[in-house]
Amino acid sequence: MKTQYEQIRISPAEAAKIASDLFNINGTAQPMPGEIDFNFRIATPGGDKYLLKISRPGENPEYLDFQQQILLYLEENEPDLNAPRILRDREGNTLSHIRDAQGKERKVRLLSWIPGRLWSKVNPHPGTLLHSLGNQVGLLTNALQHFDHPRAHRDLHWDIAQGEWTLEYRALFPGKQLEIITYFQDRFLHHKESYDHLEKGVIHNDANDNNILVSGDLLQPEVVAIIDFGDAVYTQLINNLAVACAYAIMHHPDPLDAALPLVRGYHESSPLQEKELEHLYTAIAMRLVISVTKSAINKKEEPANEYLQVSEAPAWDLLEKWRDINPDFALYSFREACGYSPHPLEEQFKSWAERQDIDLNQLFPTVKASRVHRLDLSVSSSWIGHQQDFNNLDWFQFKIEQLQKEYPGTIPAGGYLEPRPLYTSGAYDKLGNYGRENRTIHLGIDFWLPAGTPVHTLWDGEVVTAVNDAGEKEYGGLVILKHHEAGMIFYTLHGHLTVAGATRHKPGDKIRAGEEIAPLGNYPENGNWAPHLHFQLMLSMLHYETDFPGVTYYRQLPVWSSICPDPNLLFKAKELEPLEVVSDQELRLQRQQYLGKGMSLQYKEPIRMVRGAGVFMLDQFGRKYLDTVNNVAHVGHEHPDVVRAGQAQMALLNTNSRYLHKNITAYAEALLATLPPELSVLHFVNSGSEANELALRMVKTATGHKDIIASEVGYHGNTNACAEISSYKFDGKGGSGAPEHTHIFPIPDAFRGKYRGADSGTAYAEEVKQIIGKLEKEGRRPAAFIIEPIISCGGQVELPEGFLKQAYGHVRQAGGLCISDEVQVGLGRMGKTFWGFQLHDVVPDIVTMGKPLGNGHPLAVVACTREVAEAFANGMEFFNTFGGNPVSCAIGAEVLRIVKDEGLQQNALQVGEYLKTELKKLAANHPVIGDVRGQGLFLGIELVTTDLQPLPEQATYLVNRMKEHGILMSIDGPDHNVLKIKPPLVFSKENADELLFYLGKILKEDFMLV
């Protein structure tokens, strides 16, 4: 038996006939979403499109006239607003009617079609698009300010102002769901009196996923129109924004952050009053409460109508997240988005604080110090040293004491709004809308003083918190006081006290100005810090009771800096005033002025990097970026053992290699142990380019020939000789083709090269042989053949099976030598083997190695056979001033030790194979990935169309989107369509999973769907 909904449903064929009969428009009908009306897109053979709306039986004609009058009003009074236009039927009516199959009357309307994509079909929803939506909703609010209609004043369940009706249905919800909707319903009722007095008017009231049209621009989409006025109602104007927010911020990990650009855009076109913002948090929630209540009811009444339940699951997800957001913090965030002081008392407090004359001795009466010395613990601070040193508390305390001796009579202090790299716990990391976010911005001032130093209160106060905030890097002994001054309430936080001193107080206790609060604690009871006081001002406690954040997220900085004003407003210490910081824009201008134009920057919006740690790089605000491309930091950025090895030797001696020193021979011995016995002689230089330059000199000296055979799109360095054999350079932009003695064979790419497939190795080796044959006809012989075991700049191209062994054979038969360029692929990166050439069961005559040997320190090596070394030693001295210096060799030896002792080759194998397998699974679901290739932690992802055409724009888009989510990637290949993955070898499975998650997320975005 058909349900009631199925009985009244209109089929596409019926809709097409209705359009023809009533409007003389012949075309096909495609169903469109709709809660009440049955909506269809009518498309004619000539390409014209219309929106046909067919009512349910018995629909009130006044209600339909109300919608028509809105459109007529907008057409007459707001012609620039992109709204649907009404089309009349054959008889000139704006509202037509038909009889359906059951003989019931149905009303019919035809509207102009506005081209665009439904919001529900758009992916992603970046901040610029959300801002555009807010702006359009604001314009529509303004456009209807002077419109009214009797049907606008009606009972409507979807009107937030009438949301009390949902209380009757609480029994439909179990446990946690009931707690959530009850919380928001109670808030709504509690604030209803002031809410009822907000400005009112007729609003659209339904800017949901299927009523918002977005432009077709995939890179910079914007909202072009808001359609369907079926839920328009006379109500509070703020509800128009609340409805838009409720739907638009679904599916975002951080819904409040997603709402802010929307609020900002709305305010720009329709300025919001401060009192309206006080109700926005609850209004958004009540729209969601109405939605889930409607869904619960509709499950029973119309189970076949999927549209009525489409938002249920995401609405519940959003309600749970919204419940976790403090309402005051949401309000302060909305205020900041509209240009108001985030905290309403901020300016009043600052004005009062500036008139105060507070001496540090009032806080520390027993300390005989008249001023402070700024202690820089920022992410770019060199005083911190290595991050691990900070957690060596004895060492850190020793440095503090030395600082006090160097600057007697001062208190080391600082930290307000300082971005710090010191908070290593992941407990407060969160998944934001733009990837992983970690708390880095310090909200108080730290005063570094000996344990036991008494801390006193500055004003009369009431204890609101007195606890042992136990845990690594927590507050330890913590006291928060509430103060009443000049008609204001504010709070002071005193962290890292002794536990006994802090907990002797109880909430509600009164402490008089000048009385002792507690002494400073020592580690570990003070949260395991070197002794200091964390002093912080707060204008609100938000929802916190037993603690309060002392550090926050960079993206929330404007709000938190308003809630927590600068304590130096009280102390007025010149040393604690904000430092002048060179902006990124200034740095870019300076680069343009001082540096060559060829020195390009990465990404559309470059990043200022100031610190490294393992697989991460940190910008000046402390944001961590997962580094998937920096193979130079071979064992991890700023590996502490590498840093110490360099520091220790640098403190002793750094000189050239003309003197005897054990470091160079010890390192040489360790490095040779990783190579086949045939490669027994080393020459030390400073860079991969120098290594390849020297290798070229060697082969020309050893063979007496000049001709070099190299791969298409190969890159071997930036010296003159290296550039002359690098097709990547001379065949690229600004190049002038191959020099006379350079001979290029087609890149041995089995996926998209001249020869394709697993058996293409022999064909590519034959190309090398043909070059040799051509040389022989001219009476010449090759000096050498050079190639990377996996071609890097050419697009992470794996050499076809059998190619290298055959090519080596052809070259050697002609008297040439074979060079393996291992600058990027060597030192355990391949996983299966320590060196790339070992993948191919060959032994080259010369191996060149580069900066990964020194983890970024200038160190490179040329390894060769004894025969090549003897031939090169023809009497002309080879000398490199810094090649093989004691510091570089100490660092190189430490890198080699770390690779072995930390099992990094095995890690490259295991993580690399896992990552490659998972990338191939991604490729199976995303045809844009044509090929996944490489070995170990040296992988490539090539983006192509189904007919193997390169997709450089998609590659650029993906890389920049990944950067926005905190993951660094880069592009290679002659067509700039290959994503390269060659991270530090400490890259873990967890890091791989994060990379895979965001790759999968972005591959689903509109611009990637080709």
Q: What is the secondary structure of 645-687 as a DSSP string?
A: HHHHHHTT----TTS--HHHHHHHHHHHTTS-TTEEEEEEESS
d(CA 566, CA 576): 10
Between the CA of residue 11 and those of 53, 118, 401, what are the distances in Å? 13, 22, 83
User: What pLDDT score was predicted for residue 484?
Assistant: 97
- C-alpha distances (whole Å) from 250 to each of 148, 285, 325, 379, 433 are 31, 12, 15, 34, 11
| Beta bridge mates, 436 | 431
Residue ranges in 428-579 assigned as alpha helix (H): 499-503, 557-563, 568-571
Name 497's Cβ contacts closer than 8 Å, sequence gap at least 6. 455, 476, 477, 478, 479, 517, 518, 519, 520, 521, 526, 533
State the chain's maximal CA–CA distance in angstroms.
108
Q: What is the pLDDT of residue 426?
A: 66
Integer CA distances (angstroms), 898 to 145, 635, 636, in order = 70, 7, 10
What is the C-alpha end-to-end distance of the chain, expressed in Å?
44
In DSSP notation, 780-819 reads --EEEEEE-SEETTTTSEEPPTTHHHHHHHHHHHTT-EEE
Tokens of 554: 């960079």
For the beta carbon of residue 80, count every other beta carbon within 10 angstroms: 7
763 Cβ contact partners less than 8 Å away, ≥ 6 residues apart: 754, 755
Neighbours of 652 (CB within 10 A): 10
Asked whether the beta carbons of 726 and 715 are under 8 A apart, the reply is yes
Domain boundaries 904-1008, CATH class: alpha beta
- The three-state secondary structure class of 24 is coil
What local confidence, expressed as pLDDT, does residue 189 receive? 97
Pairing type for strands 817-821 and 846-849 reads parallel
- Give the pLDDT confidence score for residue 33 in this predicted structure: 84
Cα–Cα distance for residue pair 109/51, rounded to 1 Å: 8
State both tokens at 460: 């009369």
**pLDDT mean by block of 10 residues, the chain; 1010 residues:** 73 92 94 87 93 91 92 93 93 90 89 94 96 98 95 96 97 94 97 96 96 95 95 97 97 97 98 98 98 89 60 92 97 98 97 93 90 92 79 85 89 95 72 89 96 97 97 94 96 98 97 97 93 97 94 96 97 87 82 80 85 93 93 95 94 88 94 97 95 96 95 92 90 85 96 94 96 95 97 95 97 97 96 97 97 94 96 82 91 97 98 98 97 97 97 96 96 96 97 97 94
3-state secondary structure of 897: helix
pLDDT, residue 100, reads 86
Could you tell me where the beta strands, DSSP code E, fall in 206-307? Answer: 212-214, 223-226, 233-236
Count how many Cα atoms sit within 13 Å of the Cα of residue 382 in the half-sphere of its side chain: 0
Beta bridge partners of 477: 468, 497
Fold (CATH) for 118-340: Aminoglycoside 3'-phosphotransferase; Chain: A, domain 2 (3.90.1200)
DSSP for 317-352 reads HHHHHHHTS-HHHHHHHHHHHTTS-SSTTHHHHHHH
Phi/psi at 295 (nearest 5 deg)?
-65, -45
Helix (H, G, I), strand (E, B) or coil at 8: helix
DSSP state of 699: H
With beta carbons less than 8 A apart as the criterion, state whether 446 and 375 touch: yes
Overall residue count recorded for the chain in this entry? 1010
User: What pLDDT, on a 0 to 100 scale, did the predictor assign at position 462?
Assistant: 98
Asked if 424 and 444 count as a contact pair (C-beta separation under 8 A), the reply is: no
Domain assignments of the chain as residue spans, ordered by start: 4-114, 118-340, 347-576, 686-877, 904-1008
CB within 8 Å of 640: residues ≥ 6 apart: 386, 388
Alpha-carbon distance of 791 to 981, in angstroms, equals 13
For domain 4-114, give the CATH superfamily: Phosphorylase Kinase; domain 1 (3.30.200.20)
Residue 368 has what pLDDT? 87
Domain 686-877 has CATH 3.40.640.10: yes
Q: How far is residue 690's CA from residue 786's CA, in Å, rounded to a whole number? A: 15
CA neighbor of 971 nearest in space, from 951, 988, 989: 951
Q: Do domains 4-114 and 686-877 have the same CATH topology?
A: no
The whole-number pLDDT of residue 570 equals 96
Domain 347-576's class? mainly beta
Q: What is the pLDDT of residue 364?
A: 96
Instruction: Name every residue whose Cβ is closer than 8 Å to that of residue 300 and which is 6 or more positions away in sequence.
Output: none
Determine the pLDDT at residue 340: 98
Tokens found for residue 730: 């001379």
Q: What pLDDT sits at residue 374?
A: 94
